[in-house]
Structure 1
């Protein structure tokens, strides 16, 4: 059987505390005031998609909804706007999780780009339906930046799982 590139190296199980820490750090990064730049990538969305792809039983739609509500409360947005977008994003990530393992990191970024576009479009539609202002055309750059962050997030978030369970002189990793 031909193995995908991602499955060539077996990974250790993800530590639930590490998953929670990365989600909280991503939430804190998104809460940093940036002056309302429309093209700013949503780091929490990238981390939610990453864990939805790699650990779909631990980080699912419920966690995406909860983090979306937290972002809504922080931003003062319509309650449920980001929660709906993150839930749809998480559902799409869970749907793609078996397929993405067969692709390289660059191809994975191309595969998750429509998910990020759909999430931003959904949040924008909800925002416009309740009378919100148009953020400008630069909002189309945010999903591109999020897809560009995908390889970096994959390398950083999979690093703790790549180490050997018990190190010795014969296993340098």
Structure 2
């Protein structure tokens, strides 16, 4: 049964899932190229988290690991830094996906926040162990902003599934 007030969704198209992941990856590449501030949200982590919650059979730990490795290679970061963080993030999302979907947007955001904080903390720990030093205070804003974007991501990424396949006046769905 669906929670009250939730619409029945169409199946997610694989092309849209992979396209949204690719678009988030491009945003992360542009973030590095344009010199965005360090507190800017991690769009790839957010989209990976979203699809790991909504489509855990298609997007999970393996996809998160590969996406993290690709981002590490592109950014020239410590190899495995993003891969570890994204893998733990996807594992947590897949583990909690049934629970998270029963809550409203605020409840989902509160469930997502610890997962994002853990992913960022793992990245910072790896960098600190590699000799980068502790993170500055401004960097703690990034996971909060990433989690705060959860309602926006939900609205945007579920939009294609909400449209009627063949609208008709005689069909209620």
TM-score range, shorter chain: over 0.9
The size of the alignment, in residue pairs, is 171
* Local SS of the residue matching 2:149: helix
**Could you say which residue in structure 2 is the equivalent of 1:117?**
117
**Could you say which residue in structure 2 is the equivalent of 1:79?**
79
- TM-score scaled to structure 1, two decimals? 0.92
8 Å contact 1:5–1:101 — kept in the other structure?
no
Q: 1:12 to 1:119 in 2, by over 3 A?
A: same
Shift of 1:34: 4.0
**Could you say which residue in structure 1 is the equivalent of 2:22?**
24
8 Å contact 1:52–1:93 — kept in the other structure?
yes
- TM-score scaled to structure 2, two decimals? 0.92
Shift of 1:35: 2.1
Distance 2:107 2:16 in 1: 26
**Could you say which residue in structure 2 is the equivalent of 1:100?**
100
Shift of 1:108: 0.5
**Could you say which residue in structure 2 is the equivalent of 1:146?**
146
**Could you say which residue in structure 2 is the equivalent of 1:162?**
162
More displaced stretch, 9-18 vs 27-36: 27-36
Shift of 1:133: 3.9
Structure 1: stretches of 5+ with no match in the other structure: none
Shift of 1:169: 4.1
Distance 1:75 1:137 in 2: 22
Structure 2: stretches of 5+ with no match in the other structure: none
* Local SS of the residue matching 1:31: helix
- 1:26-65 to structure 2, matched below 5 A, reads 26-32=24-30, 33-35=33-35, 37-65=37-65
Distance 2:89 2:114 in 1: 10
**Could you say which residue in structure 1 is the equivalent of 2:8?**
10
